[in-house]
Amino acid sequence: MTFLTEADLRQRFGLGTGCEIRLGPNERLTPAAAELARQRHIRVLSVATDGAVAVLDAKGEARKAGSPLRVETGQKPGRRCMLCHQQVDKKPEGLTHLDAETLVPKTHPRIALRGKLDTMIAAVVLVQTEFDAGGSLPARLKAWLGDLRSWLGSILRAEVTGEPLPELSMGELTLEAIHAISHNPKKYVGHEHLVPDAGSGPDVARLNWLRAMSREVELAAVQVFARPDLSVEREDLILALNRLSSAFYVLMLLTLSAQQGRDIEKVGV
């Protein structure tokens, strides 16, 4: 068994508040590293060689974790169709689970939102495999991209379960800091607002694609949770998605700055 220290965590992960980290089958955290994860509300997962995923609790003990992309669909009494309000014994192919007890058409707006979140998670994972192919950028940029991938998983899990979304951050940058940097990059990053251009290179271009995609997901969420009086349900999800697009923009700025030789280690608000 290999035990990862606080230093190991900081080297491998962005450690954004409310994110998740994945450990190998023979990896566990030292008590100090586990306390760091607890303080930052980080979900620690252990992934076995056969793909089985377990959540590690504060004592480092594993408990089974369900997929955040899937609602528990076992045969449960009381499953009802939202359309006809009748109990359903066998799920028709045209319906899917909104939650464990409610079936809705696959055209339901919340199911469409989950599809967009799923697609965006896939896009971020693809970009992660291609980002900084030459290994010339500061490691924290790739780690922070991992934090944003975790944001999406947390948002999807909170939407499916109905649980409140935990506070999120990208590394040490809080939602408020991300908002401030995205609105005044010259002050905090030393670079004016960025206009996407092929000359910025493939890494910035890929991040810009994710930024644009996150705006589409945010709009889909607003359509789902908007009320007639213009207020919204699930303000926690809407705020997180709004800041997510800003976070991708900040990551674009930091990546370009690093490419140009600027020191990005002390960025903050």
Read off the pLDDT of residues 193-215 as tens digits, 9 standing for 90 and up. Answer: 999 899 999 999 999 999 999 99
d(CA 108, CA 195): 36
Let me know if residue 156 belongs to a domain: yes
Q: Over 80: is that where the pLDDT of 16 sits?
A: yes
Looking at the structure, do residues 85 and 141 belong to the same domain, yes or no?
Answer: no
Q: Over 50: is that where the pLDDT of 86 sits?
A: yes
Q: Over 80: is that where the pLDDT of 64 sits?
A: no
The predicted model gives 161-190 an average pLDDT of 93
Token pair for 182: 């995205």
Looking at the structure, do residues 143 and 43 belong to the same domain, yes or no?
Answer: no
Looking at the structure, do residues 176 and 206 belong to the same domain, yes or no?
Answer: yes
Of 2-11, 64-73, 89-98, 118-127, highest mean pLDDT: 118-127
Report pLDDT for 69: 47
The predicted model gives 89-93 an average pLDDT of 60
Looking at the structure, do residues 216 and 126 belong to the same domain, yes or no?
Answer: yes
Looking at the structure, do residues 180 and 74 belong to the same domain, yes or no?
Answer: no
Please provide the average confidence, as pLDDT, over all residues in the chain: 87
The predicted model gives 161-189 an average pLDDT of 93
What percent of the chain stands above pLDDT 70? 84
Q: Over 60: is that where the pLDDT of 72 sits?
A: no
Looking at the structure, do residues 166 and 194 belong to the same domain, yes or no?
Answer: yes
Residue 127's contacts (CB-CB under 8 Å, 6 or more residues apart) are 145, 206, 207, 209, 210
Looking at the structure, do residues 112 and 166 belong to the same domain, yes or no?
Answer: yes
Higher-confidence residue: 20 or 85?
Answer: 20
Q: Over 80: is that where the pLDDT of 226 sits?
A: yes
Looking at the structure, do residues 121 and 221 belong to the same domain, yes or no?
Answer: yes
Report pLDDT for 264: 87
Let me know if residue 119 belongs to a domain: yes
Let me know if residue 264 belongs to a domain: no
Helices (H), the chain: 6-12, 31-39, 109-130, 139-161, 175-183, 185-188, 202-225, 235-259
Looking at the structure, do residues 19 and 114 belong to the same domain, yes or no?
Answer: no
**Total structural domains within the chain:** 3
Residue 180's CATH number: 1.20.1200.10
Let me know if residue 265 belongs to a domain: no
The predicted model gives 26-31 an average pLDDT of 92
Of 66-75, 110-119, 125-134, least confident by mean pLDDT is 66-75
Let me know if residue 118 belongs to a domain: yes
Please state, in angstroms and as integers, the Cα–Cα distance from residue 252 to each residue in 97, 111, 185, following that order. 37, 30, 11
Q: Which of 188, 178, 112, 184 is nearest to 151 (CA)?
A: 178
Let me know if residue 195 belongs to a domain: yes
Q: For the beta carbon of residue 9, count every other beta carbon within 10 angstroms.
A: 23
Per-residue pLDDT band for 104 (boundaries 50, 70, 90) equals: confident
> What is the phi-psi region of residue 225: left when phi exceeds 0, alpha when psi lies from -120 to 50, beta otherwise?
alpha
Q: Is 51 exposed, middle or buried (0-12, 13-18, 19+ CB in 10 A)?
A: exposed
Helix pair 139-161, 109-130: axis angle to 10 deg: 160
Higher-confidence residue: 95 or 164?
Answer: 164
Residues spanned by the domain of 94: 69-105
Token pair for 123: 């896009």
Let me know if residue 233 belongs to a domain: yes
Report pLDDT for 202: 97
Looking at the structure, do residues 26 and 151 belong to the same domain, yes or no?
Answer: no
Q: Over 70: is that where the pLDDT of 37 sits?
A: yes
Asked if 114 and 159 count as a contact pair (C-beta separation under 8 A), the reply is yes
Q: For the beta carbon of residue 75, count every other beta carbon within 10 angstroms.
A: 8
Asked if 156 and 116 count as a contact pair (C-beta separation under 8 A), the reply is no
Looking at the structure, do residues 51 and 76 belong to the same domain, yes or no?
Answer: no
Token pair for 49: 């060689």
User: Model-level pTM greater than 0.75?
Assistant: yes
Let me know if residue 27 belongs to a domain: yes
Token pair for 108: 């339901």
The predicted model gives 165-187 an average pLDDT of 93
Looking at the structure, do residues 38 and 154 belong to the same domain, yes or no?
Answer: no
